[in-house]
């Protein structure tokens, strides 16, 4: 059976996210532990933390994934942005420990033209700071990006470079986003291309490092470097691509959808589409 879920809202109080995930038929889910659009976050109350943990246990809806907010840039060459970004990373790692969330997903940011070398140096330092400040059971997952201009983490080699140089490699894993991967040039349309992408990932990073798949179709074509998510099967990866992805080893991992919110298809219909393409239900 698929480990399949959505990115759900924490609106109201954080434990409401668990209710939403359950209502939509997820058996895993992802959240921002706070409003993702600002720098500041309010502390969680004891009551919400307890309610969240209780509901996750009660519904056995695990693992839960946290995702870093939008503003932090761990590769930023600007000192003030970088300082706040590292602070955010520490805060988010702490919140995950508090909420018993075992994984925190982060993007690798943009060097803003300062060059990859500076970007890598900053990311590695940030990961080391975060993991040395926050002990406890949370693994940081580095997410591959679409390879847009100045972005870090568009290739498996970029991700390996970081993992090889951090102080706590055992506390660092990987999240593979299918939209980002496809846009960065990793083909996922045929069984052969899915297998060859997995082989590259395995040879460069190690498949065992992969803890999560962000299952999104792509509006942009192969190697387009465009980060625009599409409903499952309605984009350039297409239904056949997802059928192959789901049949491969990627389909055995937790799958989180970050598909668009619009009139063409709902969240629940995207989940249904994935189950159908995996052969779990009739179309």
Binding footprint of Mn ion on the chain (CB under 5 A): 177, 214, 227
Q: Rounded to the nearest 10 degrees, how much is the dihedral formed by the CA atoms of 170, 99, 80, 126? A: 0
CA neighbor of 166 nearest in space, from 140, 138, 134, 144: 140
- Which of the residues 140 through 159 are near Zn ion (CB under 5 A)? 143
214 included as an active-site residue: yes
229 included as an active-site residue: yes
Count interface residues toward Zn ion (CB under 5 A): 1
94 included as an active-site residue: no
Q: How far from 134 is each of 30, 89, 93, 130, CA to CA, in Å?
A: 21, 10, 7, 6
Q: Which sign, positive or negative, has the C-alpha torsion 271, 155, 124, 36?
A: negative
143 included as an active-site residue: yes
CB of 143 to Zn ion, least distance (A): 5
Q: Which of 98, 202, 239, 258 is catalytic?
A: 258
Q: Rounded to the nearest 10 degrees, how much is the dihedral formed by the CA atoms of 1, 188, 139, 100? A: -40
State the binding partner of 243 from Zn ion, Mn ion, none, CB within 5 to 8 A by kind: none
| Residue number closest to Mn ion, CB atom | 214
Q: Which of 15, 158, 217, 227 is catalytic?
A: 227
Q: Which of 34, 214, 231, 265 is catalytic?
A: 214
180 included as an active-site residue: yes
Closer residue to Zn ion (CB): 48 or 258? 258
Preceding omega of 63 cis (within 30 degrees of 0): yes
Q: Which of 7, 20, 34, 67 is catalytic?
A: 67
Q: Annotated active-site positions, please?
A: 37, 67, 70, 107, 143, 177, 180, 214, 227, 229, 258
């Amino acid at each position: 059976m698929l480990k399949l879920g959505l990115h759900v809202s924490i609106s109201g109080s954080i434990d409401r996210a668990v209710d939403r995930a359950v209502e939509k038929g997820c058996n895993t889910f992802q959240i921002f532990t706070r409003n993702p659009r600002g720098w500041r976050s309010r502390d969680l109350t004891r009551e919400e933390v307890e309610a969240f943990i209780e509901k996750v246990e009660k519904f056995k809806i695990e693992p839960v994934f946290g995702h870093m907010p939008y503003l932090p840039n761990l590769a930023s060459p600007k000192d003030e942005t970088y300082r706040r970004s590292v602070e955010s990373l520490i805060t988010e790692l702490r919140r995950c420990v508090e909420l018993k969330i075992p994984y925190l997903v982060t993007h690798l940011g943009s060097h803003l033209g300062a060059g990859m070398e500076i970007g890598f140096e900053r990311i590695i330092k940030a990961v080391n700071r975060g993991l040395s400040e926050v002990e406890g059971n949370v693994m940081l997952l580095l997410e591959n990006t679409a390879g847009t201009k100045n972005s870090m983490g568009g290739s498996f080699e970029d991700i390996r470079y970081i993992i090889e140089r951090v102080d706590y490699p055992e506390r660092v894993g990987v999240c593979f986003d299918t939209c980002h991967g496809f846009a960065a040039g990793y083909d996922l349309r045929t069984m052969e291309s899915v297998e060859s992408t997995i082989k590259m990932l395995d040879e460069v990073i190690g498949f065992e490092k992969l803890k999560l798949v962000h299952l999104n179709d792509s509006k942009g074509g192969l190697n387009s470097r465009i980060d625009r998510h599409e409903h499952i099967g309605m984009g350039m990866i297409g239904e056949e691509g997802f059928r192959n992805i789901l049949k491969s080893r990627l389909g055995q991992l937790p799958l989180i959808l970050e598909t668009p919110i619009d009139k063409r298809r709902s969240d629940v219909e995207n989940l249904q589409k994935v189950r159908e393409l995996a052969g779990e239900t009739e179309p």
